[in-house]
Structure 1
């Protein structure tokens, strides 16, 4: 995930919402966004968080930033789609609880813990064991190189 330096936002303006930090783990920096893994073993679940200060809606991004975010969504979607058991992708930017713009990308399949309903608000997160979380993050970081 690389892009021309001129299109990358100033990282000093970006501050990750504490709730996103608590529920997910940093994987990599993309051209615009942090790529994060949700700490929930029930679903292959990534989150893109644009490194742009004070942005809560897609329309708050300028055209170049919107194109970068769309490219990141497309790249991660292609990678999620080939994960074992994934037959459907759920992609969403809700923002009702965490206002900071972030895009969820969730791999789904019939019989998963929330199927056919949404993952948001469905049961309790099943946290990864520390070693499994480290391995999962490392695997995603490798795939994004």
Structure 2
């Protein structure tokens, strides 16, 4: 049975469920940073998913990447699946701006914590829900 890793649960905010992945928002308002987590148990690498699930992961990553770039109008999109600290497979989608606090360095390990306010979370959730539902009928918001 799928269970979200405790670190991801502590560091992120639930946004909703796609066909394969749970969509979460990193709780750091300095950069728009989303995380996709395949809802499959004991998966640490993409190759461990079935071929159909690998295709679905790629499609969901592309969809969320495109929508977040449209919403947040970033200068660059960073996508990665590092997994050195959290072994559960998860895909980072980070919108970067040339004026963000750590540009051009990577956000991992370089950006300070700056949690969203309750109102910011509400606004980001609503914006993402609306955009995703316009493109994907099988989205279940949290």
TM-score (structure 1 length as normaliser): 0.88
Q: Could you tell me how far 1:80 is from its partner in structure 2?
A: 1.6
1:114 maps onto 2:102 in alignment: yes
Cα separation, 2, equivalents of 1:18 and 1:84: 28
Q: Aligned-pair RMSD on alpha carbons?
A: 1.0
Query: Runs of 4+ in structure 1 displaced over 4 angstroms?
Result: none
Partner of 1:56: 44
1:79 maps onto 2:67 in alignment: yes
Q: Which residue of 24, 29, 43 corresponds with 1:41? A: 29
Listed as ranges, the gaps of 5+ residues in structure 2 are 134-142
Partner of 2:116: 128
1:23 maps onto 2:8 in alignment: no
Map 1:92-111 → 2, pairs under 5 A: 92-111=80-99
Cα separation, 1, equivalents of 2:9 and 2:112: 17
RCO higher in 1 or 2 (8 Å CA, sep ≥ 6)?
Answer: 2
Greater Cα offset, 113-122 or 93-102: 113-122
Listed as ranges, the gaps of 5+ residues in structure 1 are 1-12
1:35–1:98 CA distance, 2 compared to 1 (3 A): same
Q: Could you tell me how far 1:84 is from its partner in structure 2?
A: 3.7
Cα separation, 2, equivalents of 1:135 and 1:77: 19
Tell me if the contact between 1:28 and 1:144 (Cα under 8 Å) persists in the aligned partners: no
Alignment coverage as a number of residue pairs: 133
Cα separation, 1, equivalents of 2:127 and 2:60: 18
Partner of 1:144: 132
Tell me if the contact between 1:39 and 1:128 (Cα under 8 Å) persists in the aligned partners: yes
Tell me if the contact between 2:32 and 2:72 (Cα under 8 Å) persists in the aligned partners: no
